[in-house]
Copies of this chain bind each other. A is one copy, B any other.
Amino acid sequence: MESVNIKKLAQLLNLSIATVSKALRDSYDISKETKEKVVALAKELNYQPNPHASSLRKHKSKTIAVIIPEIANNYFTLAINGIETVAQEKGYHVLIYITHEDYQKEVSLAKDLYNGRVDGLLISVSGATTDYTHLQQLQQMGLPIVFFDRVCEEFDTLKVTTDDYESSYLATQHLIEQGCKKVAHLAISGNLSIGNKRKRGYLQALADHQMPVSESLIVECTNDDEIDGELIREMFIREKPDGIFAAVERYAMASYEVCGLLNLQIPRDVKVISFSNLRIAAFLNPSLSTITQPAFDIGKEAASRLLNTLEKKNAPLTNENIIFKSSLIQRTSTAK
């Protein structure tokens, strides 16, 4: 990458490096003519300041990191889209890191951010994460962190989530209202707060409607599609549920598969509802009732807040919890 630098501009214009630098930053104490000359030449030579030099000097990189557990998932895809939109608007760069639900990877990725590589971090933690010291260290070093979706409750910072408890309650209630007598839950593995909230919403709805509650109706899924399929199949055979509330889209698809294998018809024999951001849920066979999170907006909001803090336009990140509303969209999979 051979390219023009500020020194070359200065030489060509017979000016000092400082003057050129100031002219480019539109400083008040540079004459209009000089500024114009400088800007003109910079444009002509396609001058771009060296980002490493200026990051080093200013202790600001105009870059944020996004750490997510997976990407083959519509929620995160949409969230990234929202994040990238805001970042581009404000002239920030976005580094992306995927943990594949691996705690060790999350730790080592966090280490990479220890020394000013980025100005801020947006993270949705891995399901395997129970210890947050890697993130706490980052925060102590002064790195602003915003959690989204998969948050760490105990962490003192901004968190952007959806109303997981409430929508899980409503989803479960919806199944009951549609006539289900035995509702199973396909739960997220690990002890993610999001997983707990969804499970609690489910349990509370069952309790409030005098429905059978049993641990054996809850399948703690993994990150492996095959294992999950097997666990779900076993539960179907063992419990013969007539309603399924899936905590994530992937488990709903696994249920569709299992129903196919067991010759169960949705929604006649089993009704299914799931958290999902699939745009084509309506085209599934049968079309899938979903709880849809405003993922794009969540990404936008998380990024906006972070960038505002970085630009000091706002107070530092408070221990606030911004909660977006999900929407329950009823489709054929829960029809009476």
Contact = CB atoms under 8 A, between A and B. Distances in A.
Interface stretch (A22-30, A72-80, A238-246, A322-330): A72-80
B50 A3 contact: no
Contacts of A93: 95, 112, 117
Given A49-B115, A77-B71, A84 B98 contact: yes
A50 B46 contact: no
Interface stretch (A168-176, A201-209, A283-291): A283-291
A279 interface: yes
Contact of A98 (B48, B74, B81, B285): B81
Interface string A48-74: 111111011001010100000001101
Nearest to A109: B88
Interface in A67-120: 71-72, 74, 77-78, 80-81, 84-85, 88, 93-98, 105, 111-112, 114-117
Contacts of A52: 51-53, 55-56, 61, 116-117
B80 A96 contact: yes
B279 A256 contact: no
B279 A280 contact: no
B279 A72 contact: yes
Interface of A: 1-3, 5, 46, 48-53, 55-56, 59, 61, 63, 71-72, 74, 77-78, 80-81, 84-85, 88, 93-98, 105, 111-112, 114-117, 137, 141-143, 253, 256, 278-280, 283-287
14 contacts: A1-B59, A1-B115, A3-B115, A3-B116, A3-B141, A5-B115, A48-B115, A51-B52, A52-B116, A72-B78, A84-B96, A88-B105, A253-B283, A284-B284
